[in-house]
Structure 1
Amino acid sequence: GVFQPYSGVKTSILILDRKRAKASDSVLFIKIANDGFDLSAQRRENTKNDLPAALKIIENFEKGIANENLPDNVQIVSKTKLRESGDYNLSGDRYKATADYTNSKYPMVQLGEIFDDLKIGGTPSREKSEYFGEDNLWVSIRDMDGVSTILETKEHIADLGIKNSNCKLIKEGSLLMSFKLSVGKTAFAGKDLYTNEAIIAFEPNEKVNLNYLFYSLSTATKQDSSTNNMGALMLNKEKIKKLKIPLPPLEIQQKIVEEISGYQKIIDGAKQITQNWKPKIDIDPTWEMVKLGDVSKIKGGKRIPKGLNFSSSVTNYPYIRVVDFSENSINLNTLKYIDKKVFDQISNYTISVNDIYVSIAGTIGLVGIIPKILDGKSLTENAAKIVLNDVKILSQKYILEVLQSEIVKEQIKILTQGVGIPKLALERISSLQIPLPPLPIQNEIVARIEHERALVDSSKQLIAIYEAKIKSVIAKVWADVE
């Protein structure tokens, strides 16, 4: 495939050899950082190329010849090691030995001692429209949200605007950090660009690895920034110069960066799964399409009588609100309660474990099944319950999955368009068209989706584990100071 520079797309190539697999108890991982061309859109040829050495190592591995003194980008991992976690993860960085920095003490050095010049940008007069536009990227804090490398900005600045402002050219590869309003956001300049006055730039030098600085600035800004009268963090150029970071030798900085980068790639890969997975139902044209109201009854919840309130004090009568809906179930920690007198007044508006809830006001379309402990408890007027007519032809879990599918989401979107205050009327829920395959197929669909969801949940756990590992590496470096 063809991938854009800095796009964050990682390509993995698997070489599968059944004969070799039987003869070897290990798997070879090679990380290719350079292929002989730079990352510009024109892909200019350069002298950095990992491919010839990689091909030689692969050739030796296939022939069973021992590869001695392997470089850092090559790992040979035993199949036993791969089996340990049970998921046979094929991300080589996952098996890289953790670096040990505990035997060293690093000096704390001010950023002003590391950088001779720190560049802060500016904003041209907004009254001069001719100062804006053209091809010069102009970074504001909003351009730094959720990105690690800036390749485009929401606003551009004209040459005339640069000439008549404090804007300074920031070279490609520099590290940017916000220090006003939102302190500590960081991103790399993917091109030569300019910034506004809320952003400071650290340009490459021989004293610090900017990727190491990228991971260090978050801790530094939290430890040394002050706050304004609203409690927001504050920094200025002089304070930034006085910020201190642990400064190991460049070789150690690089090892720290490699370890954290390996963890981050695992996190990024797991996030791709969690963010992009959606339960999908492939509709067979032979299946019957029915209205939800033809196979179930839709009943609304009930508001607490006027003048009465619910309480945080636990009683035998929980009152289930939309805010309690969580991950297709109920968050028991956020529940509010009513007394028996109130419950008796709204006792006809309860929900059963056999029903499905759906939110109909505010955040519309949240669905789920309540836990047994809440069977027969009161349901808010901002939700409805779906009561299945015949469980011999309908699976509760199947209907739950259908209600979360794009098939139904698109219908809900159309039904609520143009409504002033978003609300999904009960009759509109009844009108939703759903596919109705035979019960055995419903159960097969549910089993497949639940299996996929379990894998997604494993990815969420992986994210938490490796985010903790990154924090641990950073904390270790800050602990090992003179």
Structure 2
Amino acid sequence: MDTTTPVRRVSFSQLGRWDVKFYANSIKSVYPLVPLKNLVIEHNEKEQLYNFPEESYKILGVNNTQGIFHAYDSLGKDINQSYKRVSAGDFAYNPYRINVGSIGWVPLEHDGAYISPAYVVFSVNQKEILPEIFWLILKSSFFNESLRAATAGSVRMNLTFPLLESLQIPIPPISIQKKILENWHTATRKLTKINLDLNKLPKELERYILGQLGLKTKEITQQPKVITTNWTKLTKWSQRATHLLNQVSQITMGNYPVVIGRDCISEVKHGCSGSPSNKPTKLKVLKLSAVTSGVFLEEETKYITDKLQYRVSFDLKVGDILICRTNGTLAYVGRPALIQKDYKDIIFPDKLMRIRCKKNILPEYLEYILSTSIIRPQIEANARTAVGNYAIGNEDIFNIDFPLPPIHMQLKLVEKIKEVKDMVAEMKENSKTILDDAEKVIEKIILEGYPSTNPINNLVISEEATS
């Protein structure tokens, strides 16, 4: 049943725009609604980093999972536009993606870094609202509904700073804000415990897998300004590559023969270079974000012109491995993601490569080994740089060295890999549930008031999630 009110009265003094949906989605709270124009200060100052060509700059990005993150470092000569400098406590958002949570709060570790001018950067009046409370409100579902109503344009959402200023949010007294944060931090401390356990599992798994292969893990050290090496170990005229290759464990000392990629990989193929379609079609092409996390995300797609040639040449089948061949972040280059089923209406783009295996190697084993500390240095050493991007080619994959145990041993290792991956997935799901529940409680407090009992402290984390 439709419960929306067909008519709503708005006083003339509040009529700031001729937009029905804007007023229909206003927030209702026991606390006063305050216009954001009274709380936020835009920072639009830009610096011409290209005037300092040999200076290295930390460049930040914003997404809907990490918020603010360190995207890459770049020399001034590789930056062709003015960038915004951010300070700790600033907020930054993508005006076209804030509706999916693409907003972040700059932590102290990124103070003084730079961000693309495409992002909106601002700070808040901390006498009125605590930055962390403001961040929680911006991430809330009730604010998301409000900003959707405020967005200009019917084709693509665009939350400009003036539109942001036109929004209102409920502001509890500072004393209540502090209580909310106390309880929120209690919940996040529990999540920190889970995340610490999550961070241990991949390292423990690699120690086990490499141990079964007769090898040891090796921590990759930071590249020094000056390195020395034996002439016999100098395979590339590159300080970075030489340093990385010297980090690789002696894989020939393990229990199984060492092969090159060509011995067990039948194909390494670049993806489709066709342009995306502005109109919906029956064929979709993956975005880079579909694989850069190391897990295949089938929903990360966009439309492309539907051609039979594309479908035949760039199809995706179960057992295929996709890797990113070029990216501004070296850690993403060569990161593998396994395809778990056939996709008849999805193809892969030119910036990805598709690997297909021969019968002497399991795709699951190859996917895992490509991410280990004995293979990553080889991939990163072979990555070439141009205009701020790193790139690898087909031959770099065909020439990688790695141990190849017999199929029965691969099956044993893959079984262990799956066991740990399932465990990680379950812990992440538990963590997400706890976080979602905590956010819902905070939203309820901000809209309906602070209860006499503390609902956040009543959140229960299972023994399985914390053990």
TM-score, normalization by structure 1: 0.47
TM-score, normalization by structure 2: 0.48
